[in-house]
Amino acid sequence: MAEHNELGWKGEEAAVNYLASKGHRIIARNWTFLGYEVDIITAHEGYIVFVEVKTRTSTEWGNPEDFIGKRRMKRMIEAAHYYLITHKIDEPVRFDIVSIVWNQQQFELEHIEDAFLPFL
């Protein structure tokens, strides 16, 4: 496995553990549908939460969450739409970001709730 893929996988694992510790019930990981992908889907406090995880080894070029552009947000929103329809879910939705920096010893994690709103 390529080093950046391994880092991403470990970052997602750290994010799942963190979210679970905060009371999120993990519903799905790496959910895909017709070319769309969501890193983590959880249920939390009456919401279905779609989570994008960004892991980096430094903040030299910006924080990990800075690398989530409008195109990625739009694709997450579209994926959420398909997920809710295909699973017949009628609950409020939230879009979160888990921003992770690996400092060569441990993960520094920031959870950004309601990181963006649907803008289709």
Percent of residues, the chain, with pLDDT higher than 70 = 89
Percent of residues, the chain, with pLDDT higher than 90 = 61
Angstrom CA distances, 58 to 8, 106, 108, stand at: 13, 12, 10
Tens-place pLDDT, residues 17-70: 999 999 999 999 999 988 899 999 999 999 999 999 998 876 677 676 777 888
pLDDT of 3: 59
Residue 8: pLDDT band (50, 70, 90) is: confident
For 3-39+53-106, which CATH class?
Answer: alpha beta
Sorted by where each begins, the domain ranges of the chain are 3-39+53-106
Contact 103, 56 (CB under 8 A): no
